[in-house]
Amino acid sequence: MSTSQRRSARVSGRVALDQAEAVIVDQYTRLVRLAYLTLPHTLTRHRRVLVAHALVQRALPGFRIARAGRRVPGQRKGGAPDPALARTRASVLRAALAHDRRPRGWPGFLPPPRTLRPMFPVVWGLRIFPRAGGGDEIALGQVLSEAPAAARAAFVLLQVEGLSRPEVSELLTAAGVPEPQPALDTAAGLEASAGGATQALLTSREFDACSVQTRPTDLLRRRRRFQLAWLSAGIVALCCAVLLTAVGSSPSDQPARTVDVSPAISADRLVHTPRDTWADTSRVDFTAWPARGSRVSDTALITRALATWTDPPRGTRVRVAEATSDEQPPGNTQLLYAGDVGGEAVVLFHDGRRVVRYGEPPSPLDPASLDISRADEADVTTAASLVVSRGEGKVRYLTAPWIAEAQTRDLLDPDSPGRPLDVTDEGVTDAVPELPGKGACDSLPVLQLRSSSKIVEKHAFLVADLGGLTPVHLSYTPLPGTGAPPRQPREATSTAALESWARIACRLPLMRQSGVRAVNQWDFAEQDLPERGGGAVWSCTRASTWRGHGSVLVQFRTSKESATSPAKVVGRARSTAACSRFGQHIVASTPWTAGSGRHYLLAAGSREVTGIDVTGDVKADKKGGTLAVKAPESPEVTVRARLKDGETLDEVGSRP
């Protein structure tokens, strides 16, 4: 029986060469689209287009780069299965999935061995890429870039090719995917995220690698190379000249940095906001920033920055924030800054949705850097500063034109006043220490900025650097007042706010590089502890991201502890609306041990909580917003709150 099963798993019969060629010609666009969307998004769009065409053209029997080893489903639309199409599709899919795999021990700095083979087509002197789509296509492209390659392939096969789930599963298996079910599940999630017009989006020009636009490479550079080839006396003399130049030249003698591609938008088409716009506008955000810096007229520098953003050259250090598109610059791109900071030439852009930083070291032999972060719906606080330079544990900021004063303060020292921070006429601050990483947490430096009275009076606020281009806005919501309406988040500059933040500040570095936009500390309840154990404050720290999701930490601190000792984390939740204006009710619990050694279960809820029920190892039912009952040392309980409107509320998260 096992022998017959093995035979049934193999392709029955060979596909004739003329049949395979007819399939490739007839289905060429669809096969190229499948390869293009499956290939890794670490490749540039130019490279992905060429590789996609090469993989389809090499799928002809005889190349043997991606032969299917298992039976694959044929096309069942309107007739019998087509084994030639099925085998060709499996061959293309296998090659695309395997393109970025490296054998064990293969050097990381070399491309996969498959890419070292000669592959046609080859394009000289041009950069090619699909035409840009609309906002829906860009959003779908971002979603696809975050999905595994097998899931992208399953998504295209289901939505564009119209295959059934069993057919896609069998095809993925034939293409070398050991477990196709997770890819199918992820593809179903992509379909739910994309909405109802998925097929129309996938067949749009944004993902059509057969309908492309072209840009020339650097024409002047090509001409110089041609002249150098003719003027060279021989390879030995050329090598000697290069060695002598590398050993004996100064930085000023090194060749000028050039770019290989033409930018998607020219430097002279960039938006330049007038200098005084910020003082007379109702939209106080990045759109009100004027172009500043000593090199705003340096067209060559700005062109290199735009070209790197359009298609980063090999070796460029590219950092794209979470849930951020890396698409090329659109036509409404705005110049924010161009100048020299911290030994680098720096250019900052804003395109309405993102901020982009280009950094260029003085030596053309050192790689440039490109950072892209989301900045949609920024406001007077989240658009108040940008990181313009980072290195050696220090960071410099470019402040908004409406910032009248800048200070630094230590979150772990709430009683100390802010220290003045020097800012140049261009808005660049002195270097400030970065937040500490893992390990000791002895100091938490943050910026305290004050807006000009031209837009708002006496408005000071705190921002902290968490590794992105846009510093994170820190706010505070105080304890509820008796009979007062719900408190709203406010700036974290009051004594109570700074004291509360001091107890949770050391957890800020854990949020690095996670796309956080703002962090609010909400003290939602206070409680008298049993056996005269002092008082306790319950708080919820919510980190809101640019993409809308948020995570919360529920914390518990007592008056007997040090004013800067970290609060105890009693619950956590991710991708939740809790502790926001869309999740204004909360209840939490924690075990606690009194000075006598007795163990208690404590619970507390926000202002709308009228009673708390406990079941499990402890059974209790108490009216009011707090509860304290004797309990085992580590009880297993379920805590639920009753609200004023009669609804019930489950405990947020779980104890870590």
188 is a domain residue: yes
Pair 178, 134 in one domain: yes
| DSSP per-residue string spanning 445-490 | EEEEEEE-TTT-SS-EEEEE--SSSSPEEEEEEPPPPTTPPPP--E
pLDDT value of position 198:
73
370 is a domain residue: yes
pLDDT value of position 77:
44
Query: Between residues 324 and 612, which one has the greater pLDDT?
Result: 612
Pair 141, 61 in one domain: yes
Domain region containing 116: 2-213
pLDDT value of position 538:
96
Query: Between residues 367 and 220, which one has the greater pLDDT?
Result: 367
Pair 171, 291 in one domain: no
Average pLDDT of span 367-391: 94
Query: Between residues 400 and 141, which one has the greater pLDDT?
Result: 400
Per-residue pLDDT for 446 more than 80? yes
Domain boundary, last residue among 331, 357, 378: 378
Pair 361, 312 in one domain: yes
449 is a domain residue: no
To 5 degrees, how large is the angle CA 319–CA 320–CA 326? 125
- For 342-354, what is each residue's pLDDT tens digit? 899 999 999 999 9
Per-residue pLDDT for 586 more than 50? yes
Phi, psi for 523 (deg, rounded to 5)? -85, 100
pLDDT value of position 41:
78
Q: What percentage of residues in the chain have a pLDDT greater than 90?
A: 45
Query: Between residues 482 and 567, which one has the greater pLDDT?
Result: 567
pLDDT value of position 3:
34
Per-residue pLDDT for 470 more than 70? yes
Average pLDDT of span 37-66: 76
Of the pLDDT bands very low, low, confident and very high (cuts 50, 70, 90), residue 498 is very high
Assess contact for 463 and 381: CB atoms under 8 A.
Answer: yes
Average pLDDT of span 158-179: 87
Assess contact for 475 and 521: CB atoms under 8 A.
Answer: yes
571 is a domain residue: no
pLDDT value of position 656:
45
Residue carrying the six token digits 């090469």: 54
Average pLDDT of span 229-248: 57
**Closest of 250, 265, 252, 363 to residue 305, by C-alpha:** 265
474 is a domain residue: no
Phi, psi for 614 (deg, rounded to 5)? -125, 130
Per-residue pLDDT for 333 more than 60? yes
Of the pLDDT bands very low, low, confident and very high (cuts 50, 70, 90), residue 650 is very high
Helix (H) or strand (E) holding 522: strand 516-528
- For 179-216, what is each residue's pLDDT tens digit? 888 888 888 877 766 665 677 778 877 788 887 777 67
Assess contact for 30 and 85: CB atoms under 8 A.
Answer: no
- Number of structural domains (the chain) is 3
pLDDT value of position 460:
95
Question: What single-letter amino acid sits at 415?
Answer: D
pLDDT value of position 65:
38
Pair 65, 135 in one domain: yes
643 is a domain residue: no
CB atoms inside a 10 Å sphere around CB 473:
25
Phi, psi for 464 (deg, rounded to 5)? -130, 145
Assess contact for 202 and 137: CB atoms under 8 A.
Answer: no
Average pLDDT of span 164-179: 87
Average pLDDT of span 417-435: 94
Indicate the range of 162-171, 191-200, 436-445, 627-636 predicted with least confidence: 191-200
pLDDT value of position 221:
55
**565 SS3 class:** coil
- For 268-317, what is each residue's pLDDT tens digit? 999 999 999 999 988 999 999 999 999 999 999 999 999 999 999 988 99
Highest mean pLDDT: which of 257-261, 513-517, 596-600? 596-600
Domain boundary, last residue among 329, 355, 378: 378
Q: What percentage of residues in the chain have a pLDDT greater than 70?
A: 81
**Average pLDDT over the chain, rounded to an integer:** 83
336 is a domain residue: yes
Pair 201, 225 in one domain: no
pLDDT value of position 240:
61
pLDDT value of position 1:
33
260 is a domain residue: no
* Per-residue three-class SS string for 111-148: CCHHHHCCCCCCCCCEEEEECCCCHHHHHHHHHHHCCC
Pair 183, 229 in one domain: no
Per-residue pLDDT for 400 more than 60? yes
109 backbone φψ class: left, alpha, beta (φ>0; ψ -120 to 50): alpha
pLDDT value of position 126:
75
Indicate the range of 9-13, 348-352, 586-590, 600-604 predicted with least confidence: 9-13
DSSP strand pairing (516-528 vs 490-491): unpaired
Pair 45, 120 in one domain: yes
Pair 339, 358 in one domain: yes
Question: What single-letter amino acid sits at 5?
Answer: Q
Pair 151, 20 in one domain: yes
Which two three-digit tokens encode residue 27?
């289905």
Pair 118, 229 in one domain: no
Say how far apart CA 162 and CA 170 lie, in whole Å.
14
Of the pLDDT bands very low, low, confident and very high (cuts 50, 70, 90), residue 86 is confident
| DSSP per-residue string spanning 311-350 | SPPTT-EEEE-TT---PPP-TT-EEEEEEEETTEEEEEEE
Phi, psi for 377 (deg, rounded to 5)? 60, 35
**388 SS3 class:** strand
Pair 6, 112 in one domain: yes
pLDDT value of position 14:
52
Highest mean pLDDT: which of 51-65, 373-387, 544-558? 373-387
Indicate the range of 64-73, 95-104, 531-540, 585-594 predicted with least confidence: 64-73
Its pTM stands at: 0.64
